[in-house]
Structure 1
Amino acid sequence: MRTRPVLIYDGDCAFCTSSVNFAERHLRPRCDFTPWQFADLETLGVTQERAEYEVLWTTPTGSVQGGAQAVAKLLLSAGGVWSVLGALLTLPPVRWLAHGVYRLVADNRDRMPGGTPACAVPAAQRQGSHGLEPPTTH
């Protein structure tokens, strides 16, 4: 049984991998990191579709947070001044703003420093929640 939270990220994305490496070196959060490509997603309680769409924070009890709230959990687990920033990211209206900024960065991660074409999120996953396209009307 797991005893620590796990941050699941896109291991094929250079921007994501660089961000995780920064967090491991400088924030030292109390969690494990795993690329979704090598994770037992079923055991972690997430789908591949969701893991492709956003970074995920999973707890040993099965709670899952995604996107900006996963980043908030990571910061909270790092302690110190990082936990203050993490706590702010959980409060409205900062939470709402953080979600928008997260989506903007995630949808354009191939254009971010260290990003490569492999970092691009497929267009079908850039809209809606958890990688799902919003319903279309004809």
Structure 2
Amino acid sequence: MPELPALIYDGDCGFCTRSARLTEKLPVQARLVPWQEADLAELRVTEDRARHEVLWVDETRRVFGGASAVAELLKHCGGPWESVGMILSAPVVRTIADWVYRRVSENRHRLPGTTPACQLPPERRPGAGA
């Protein structure tokens, strides 16, 4: 089990990997873990869920998925990022963010620079060697 909090992402998806790599630039103390290397049973998360959405696991082992995971990650950054996370968590904005997240997730393989099965070696995945 990774140290918590942790961002669990699809390590075989180029878009997901680049997005996870962006979090390395944020002021947040969290582990980045491809779901393929995470103990999903310990997290009480199904492989199907991990395949379809980014997950944020907080210090209490509470799991957030999709746009809520992004909002929680931002809340852990502090400063202005925390405010952005709070806004993304507001009911009306959350509904819109969920819709946008689903559209991007469903079409991530169509985004520039990605393929349906982008395989990165473990040493090139975000969080490797951290």
Calculate the TM-score normalised by the size of structure 2: 0.83
Give the 3-state SS of the residue equivalent to 2:117 in structure 1. helix
Compare relative contact order (CA 8 Å, sep 6+) and give the higher one, 1 or 2.
Answer: 2
Residue 41 in structure 1 maps to residue 55 in structure 2: no
CA distance in 1, matches of 2:101, 2:77: 19
Deviation at 1:118, TM superposition (A): 1.6
The one-character-per-residue Cα deviations of 1:48-83 (angstroms, maximum 9, x if unpaired) are 111011111112322111000000011111122111
CA distance in 2, matches of 1:101, 1:115: 19
Residue 29 in structure 1 maps to residue 28 in structure 2: yes
Question: What residue ranges of structure 2 are gaps of 5+ in the alignment?
Answer: 119-130
Residue 4 of structure 1 corresponds to: 4
Moved over 6 A (4+): none
Q: Percent identity?
A: 53
Instruction: Map 1:82-101 to 2 at 5 A.
Output: 82-101=81-100
Give the 3-state SS of the residue equivalent to 1:34 in structure 2. strand
CA distance in 2, matches of 1:31, 1:21: 12
Question: In the superposition, relative to structure 1, how do residues 117 and 33 fare at CA in structure 2: closer, same or farther (>3 Å)?
Answer: same
Deviation at 1:20, TM superposition (A): 0.7
Deviation at 1:3, TM superposition (A): 5.4
**Matching residue's letter, 1:22:** L
Question: What residue ranges of structure 1 are gaps of 5+ in the alignment?
Answer: 120-138
Give the 3-state SS of the residue equivalent to 1:78 in structure 2. coil
Count of residue pairs the alignment pairs up: 118
- Of the two, which has the highest radius of gyration? 1
Instruction: Map 1:4-83 to 2 at 5 A.
Output: 4-24=4-24, 26-83=25-82
CA distance in 2, matches of 1:92, 1:22: 26
